[in-house]
Amino acid sequence: MITKSYVITAPEGIHARPATTLIRLAKKYKSIVSLKKEEKVVLLNSMLNILTIGAKGGDTISIIIDGEDETDAALAIDHFFSQELKHL
Amino acid sequence: MKGISASPGIAIGSAYVLTKNKVTSTGTVLKSEDDIAREMDKFNKAVQASVDDIERVKSNASQNLNEDEMDVLDAHIELLTDPQLHGDVLEKIRAERKNAVDAVIQVIGQFIRVFKGMNDAYLIDRAADIKDIGNRILENLSNSREKTPPKFKFNTIVIADEISPSDAIALDMTTVIAFATRIGGKTSHTAILAKSKNLPAVLGCGAALDEIRNDDVIIVDGAKGLVIANPDEKCFEEYAAKFRQYHQENSFMPSLNSAPAQTTDGIKIKLMANISSADDMDDALMYGAEGVGLFRTELLFMNRNSFPTEDEQFQFYYSAALKARGKPVVIRTIDIGGDKPLDYFHLPKEENPFLGYRAIRISLDRKDIFVTQLKAILRASALRNVKAMFPMISGIQELRLAKQILEAAKQQLRESKVDFDERIPVGMMIETPSAAITADLFAQEVDFFSIGTNDLCQYTLAVDRGNEKIKDLYDPYNPAVLRLIRYMIEQARKYHIHVGMCGEFASDPLATVLLLGMGLEEFSMSAVSLPAIKKIINENDYEKAKMICEQVMSMDNSKSIIDYLTACSSK
């Protein structure tokens, strides 16, 4: 299992557009990917759940990845949060 | 009738009342396991049909969808196939023996309530998307979906309960000139749609709209939030006059906001705003700035009793950088001096404050103040769109010292494990003749130049522009100033660093073509000036601008130069 924390750099937070990208990214891997903010944890396959967690710009969230391809998934998600998110 | 003003402008046209088939609860209780299996199957098929609907809209090339519209459709596909939604609906069918229609109405209703109850305008508005996909599933469940969208006549004003996000995309809006809706507010989807299309909209008019019939004459006054149905002659004339006036005043500006600044031969130019606080960011974005070329930080230091703390400064910079939504923001360290005194920071009275203890000279002398400011800027750079800039550098040793102190500030943050941009771009203002003449040396040690023409001009010509008697000598078209500017741009390009201009000269419409011809890549100015400069850039050719520049550089006095540029611009 891999856990990593990120500060959300996109001003609007994880809104519909990045959530769509993130869900589609996570779907490519067999690992189970979840998103944690404070005490709330949701699976990263549901737009409704991701939006309800309400991650805003400046918030710190954690991503938890568990599965056989977790290393690859973590790399892709790392790229998403550090590079792509601010452009979405 | 009165509603909420969601998008300004005046429209006069004929009504098209957009009606929706409403699917209502049935109250059915499923009797057998077969019924349950059948309803689950119906739900799955309706979801698939809904996804297919959207895929059809997406692939329908004739609709010319923009990126935002594609995003909405993609988000809707994710919502339609959301595992949480599916689980909840199937559970209701299985455990509570509801049919598919009732299960969808209830589950969608719950999600809408959750989103509307959230403490965030963006999420509250997402309720409209959830309602939209819910209605789509329901219409597919009851086979009541209109597969062909209505065709609007010219000058149509759409009257509806609300414009759902997918309506906004599927409907052919080319002949629509305004919206009026029963429900919705300033941040609703309809409002965003109307603003993006620059159409007037009045929302939340309530039941009063029910009286409107197709083809009624309608006036929409977006700014006042008024909808007038079948106006009398006097009212009609009054609005016809307002309509003409509004369009004269706003004819070119809004259409320029979203378009990039680009010469007719395809050279892209960055147009940036000069700001003094995060509040200015709203104007900057409204006038189409692609970022901030100069964020003056002095405002935070003025009108108070002590230096702002690192946290106060961080908030000040961070909020502006956040509002810029990923667009670059150049933050300039303090540019204070004898001419702009601070109550709490005693600066000795000087004979020549412009040649005295000011700007970077104070920062390098008072490292405590400088480090605090740099740490605050670095912390804001965690957003990865912040650049740092030093003012009034006159010698390379000053730049090197400033960069050393920046490195020390970084080290302090690293030690306290605070996030910042390790590769924050560092630039300098070029506003002293000494820096301009040695631009080649500086270009090798910074990431960008920003040309400050106001000070450059007064230092180069030895003219105090505040002095009435000699103010005519203050002249940026003096060949000496132009040569310096051209040299700096050439050196920046030679060493492949970015070069912009943030002085007043950048917003002088007469100078635009000349600066283009010199190879300037970025113009930064107060936001209101941007549309006029963008218009000039969009109408001119880079190759021609280079020739104009060559001509200008061969002239020996500013009067000839100004006359020549005036003649070129009136052609």
Residue A40 contacts B, CB cutoff 8 Å? no
Per DSSP, chain A holds a count of helices (H) and strands (E) of: 3, 4
pLDDT in tens, chain A (88 residues): 999 999 888 777 888 888 999 999 999 999 999 999 988 899 999 999 999 888 888 889 999 999 999 999 999 999 998 888 777 6
Q: What pLDDT, on the 0 to 100 scale, is given for residue B257?
A: 63
Q: Assign B280 a pLDDT band (cuts: 50, 70, 90).
A: confident
Q: Rank B20-24, B224-228, B406-410 by mean pLDDT and report only the highest.
A: B406-410
Lowest average pLDDT, out of A78-82, B1-5, B145-149, B331-335, goes to: B145-149
Whether residue B427 has pLDDT greater than 90? yes
Residue A41 contacts B, CB cutoff 8 Å? no
What are the CB-based long-range contacts (under 8 Å, 24+) for B68-74? Answer: B68/B196, B69/B168, B69/B169, B71/A16, B71/A17, B71/A20, B72/A16, B72/B129, B72/B165, B72/B166, B72/B168, B72/B169, B73/B166, B73/B169, B74/A17, B74/A20
Whether residue B194 has pLDDT greater than 90? no
Q: What pLDDT, on the 0 to 100 scale, is given for residue B5?
A: 85
For residues B8 and B249, the model is more confident at B8
Average pLDDT over residues B485-503: 96
Shortest CA distance from B84: residue in chain A = A46
For residues B461 and B199, the model is more confident at B461
Min Cα–Cα distance to chain B from A11, Å: 5
pLDDT tens sequence across B48-107: 999 998 998 888 755 667 777 788 889 999 999 999 999 999 999 999 999 999 999 999
Q: What pLDDT, on the 0 to 100 scale, is given for residue B395?
A: 96
Whether residue B200 has pLDDT greater than 50? yes
For residues B7 and B77, the model is more confident at B77
Residue A19 contacts B, CB cutoff 8 Å? yes
- Look up residue B294 and give its amino acid: L
Average pLDDT over residues B519-540: 90
pLDDT tens sequence across B347-396: 888 888 889 999 999 999 999 999 999 999 999 999 999 999 999 999 99
pLDDT tens sequence across B135-150: 999 999 987 766 667 7
CA atoms within 13 A on the CB side of B366: 17
Q: What pLDDT, on the 0 to 100 scale, is given for residue B61?
A: 52
Whether residue B480 has pLDDT greater than 70? yes
Whether residue B333 has pLDDT greater than 60? yes
Whether residue B412 has pLDDT greater than 50? yes
Paired tokens of B343: 């109550």
pLDDT, mean over chain B: 89
Mutate to test the interface with B, among A8, A51, A59, A86 (most CBs of B within 10 A): A51
Q: What pLDDT, on the 0 to 100 scale, is given for residue B253?
A: 53
Whether residue B251 has pLDDT greater than 80? no
Whether residue B527 has pLDDT greater than 90? no
Considering only the beta carbons, identify the residue of B114, B323, B385 that sits closest to A52: B114
ipTM for the complex shown: 0.89
Residues B253 and B283: beta-carbon distance below 8 Å: no
Q: What pLDDT, on the 0 to 100 scale, is given for residue B337?
A: 82
Question: What is the gyration radius of the CA atoms in chain A, in angstroms?
Answer: 11
Q: What pLDDT, on the 0 to 100 scale, is given for residue B338?
A: 66
Q: Annotated active-site positions of A, please?
A: 15
Q: What pLDDT, on the 0 to 100 scale, is given for residue B404?
A: 97
Residue B113 contacts A, CB cutoff 8 Å? no
Average pLDDT over residues B306-313: 93
Q: What pLDDT, on the 0 to 100 scale, is given for residue B465?
A: 75
Question: What is the gyration radius of the CA atoms in chain B, in angstroms?
Answer: 30
Using a CB-CB cut-off of 8 Å, the residues of chain B touching A87 are 326
- Helix-helix angle B33-59:B67-80, to 10 degrees: 170
Whether residue B507 has pLDDT greater than 80? yes
Q: What pLDDT, on the 0 to 100 scale, is given for residue B254?
A: 47
Paired tokens of B216: 């009624």
Cβ–Cβ of B419/A7 closer than 8 Å? yes
pLDDT tens sequence across B338-352: 667 787 888 888 888
Mutate to test the interface with B, among A7, A42, A47 (most CBs of B within 10 A): A47
